[in-house]
Amino acid sequence: MNATVRSLFSVMLVLALGAGTLSAQESDDPVLQKARDKYQEKLDKGKQDSGTQGPLASSGSATADNESEVPYVPVLLSFTPGLSIPLGYYRTSASFAAIGAAFDTSYGFAGAGVFNMYDRGYGFQGAGVFNISGKKVGGFQGAGVFNIAGGEVDGFQGAGIFNIAGGPVRGAQLAGIFNIADKVQGSVQAAGLFNIASTVKGIQIAEMFNIAESVNGMQIGFVNITGELRGLQIGFINISNNGVDSLSALYMPATDTAFVYWQAGSPFLYMVLGAGAPRSDWFVRNDNLMVSAGIGTRVRLGGPYVDVDVSAEQAIGSDIDAIYQAAVDHDKDALVSFCKPYPSGRISLGLPLGRNLHLTGGVKVLVQLEEGGLVPESQKTQDSLSATWFGIPFTAWSQWFLGAKVRLHF
């Protein structure tokens, strides 16, 4: 990725310099011609030292040497690359450009009406259309259309269309369409369409899809794809080599109740969403509907496995019409007033019959607290326990369940 970025930068820099050179050649000013010759001599020297097509392509020990050889000016005023005050290729603390600027390093501020092209940027780098950095970005890199960094981004990359980072991103990458990064380390990668990274230690958020080789954190999008997942995937399609993504149908004989559960995430931590009702009510009536949401973890025992999860569960059937109307009216206070869940927990054993079909069974416990929601009468069984733990009185009911589970990806 670094080579691609540097090649792109070199082509754009040569074109820009060509424009400035042509303008200078049309002038009869010998002073300007002499300055242009010295500037071209520095560029040619940079090519010979790095063995590439521009000063932004140098790396390794040559990087520090070349940077120390680039002269420094406090302020650089540019119209376009090749037309600046002072004329030349510099390190600077403040760069101001009407159209665009090309410089080695910015230590404070770099602003341009159209573009900035540079080796390293620290502090603020902002442009109306694009910023291209051959190496490191430290601080803020913002543009109306796109940003490209050949190396690491230690701070923020924000663009209306896309961001590309050839090295790790520590901070945030935010774009209207897409982001591409080598690594996302302890940061956020968010885009309107998609995100791509080799490894993610943080969060990927996109409306369409997220792709990463490994994720230690969270992916939120319509489609989430990763090789190794340690965290959560929240989306319609979640794919990972070691992930949890299944739909299960369970039957509880003691209360004649059927539940459907969706599990999505990693074995370390997955989310679980559920909906249930008395068996005879399914597809007939909804006044006894129950819903739940929670988190869980999976312990593998070779082929079989044990799932343990805890949820907040609530009977909403009698209030479903009022809840729907509050949602339509965007009445947040009304929605909150309907939220009176009770704790529930499950422990289940899964037995794979094949790659995508599993049998499952276990026990579910419902807990009623003095200041919590009410457990429906239809879910209370003879297996109950009333006690006080840590000064909190409660009553719990347990029941066995059996069912089948289908993996949602292959």
What ranges in 26-94 are assigned the alpha helix state H?
Answer: 30-50, 61-69
The enclosing domain of 387 has a CATH number of 2.40.160.20
Residues 338, 258 share a domain: yes
Residues 213, 165 share a domain: yes
Residues 309, 388 share a domain: yes
Q: What are phi and psi of 56, to 5 degrees?
A: -80, -5
The pLDDT tens digits of the residues spanning 340-394 come to 899 999 999 999 998 889 999 999 999 999 888 899 999 999 889 999 988 889 9
The pLDDT tens digits of the residues spanning 90-111 come to 999 999 999 999 999 999 999 9
User: Cis ω on the peptide bond leading into residue 30 (within 30° of 0)?
Assistant: no
Residue that is last in its domain, among 240, 258, 283: 240
Residues 254, 235 share a domain: no
Residues 214, 267 share a domain: no
Length of the chain: 410
Structure tokens of 32? Answer: 């300007």
Give this prediction's pTM.
0.65
Residues 249, 227 share a domain: no
Report yes or no: 255 and 270 within 8 Å, Cβ to Cβ. no
Split at pLDDT 50, 70, 90, the class of 46 is very low
The pLDDT tens digits of the residues spanning 130-162 come to 999 999 999 999 999 999 999 999 999 999 999
User: Is 79 part of a structural domain of the chain?
Assistant: no
Split at pLDDT 50, 70, 90, the class of 29 is very low
Residues 272, 231 share a domain: no
Q: What is the pLDDT of residue 67?
A: 56
Tell me, what DSSP letter sits at residue 54?
A: S
Instruction: Report the DSSP beta bridge partners of residue 181.
Output: 165, 197
Q: What is the pLDDT of residue 44?
A: 58
Question: pLDDT exceeding 70 applies to what percent of the chain?
Answer: 83
Report yes or no: 403 and 361 within 8 Å, Cβ to Cβ. yes
Q: What are phi and psi of 153, to 5 degrees?
A: -120, 110
Q: Is the pLDDT of residue 188 over 90?
A: yes
What's the rounded Cα separation, in Å, for the pair 259 and 244? Answer: 19
Question: pLDDT exceeding 90 applies to what percent of the chain?
Answer: 63
Say whether 208 sits in a helix, a strand or coil: coil
What's the rounded Cα separation, in Å, for the pair 377 and 380? Answer: 5
Q: Is the pLDDT of residue 19 over 50?
A: no
Residues 168, 24 share a domain: yes
Report yes or no: 221 and 207 within 8 Å, Cβ to Cβ. yes
Residues 368, 277 share a domain: yes
Q: Is the pLDDT of residue 323 over 60?
A: yes
User: Is 148 part of a structural domain of the chain?
Assistant: yes
User: Is 82 part of a structural domain of the chain?
Assistant: no
- Can you give the C-alpha Rg of the chain in angstroms? 30
What's the rounded Cα separation, in Å, for the pair 78 and 87? Answer: 9
Residues 248, 236 share a domain: no
Residues 363, 278 share a domain: yes
Count of domains in the chain? 2
User: Is 310 part of a structural domain of the chain?
Assistant: yes
User: Is 107 part of a structural domain of the chain?
Assistant: no
Neighbours of 300 (CB within 10 A): 11
Residues 234, 174 share a domain: yes
Q: Which residue range is the domain that position 167 belongs to?
A: 2-71+112-240
User: Is 91 part of a structural domain of the chain?
Assistant: no
Split at pLDDT 50, 70, 90, the class of 35 is very low
User: Is 100 part of a structural domain of the chain?
Assistant: no
Which residue type occupies 371?
E
Residue that is last in its domain, among 240, 268, 286: 240
Nearest residue to 78 via CA among 107, 55, 56, 103: 103
Choose between 335 and 11: higher pLDDT.
Answer: 335
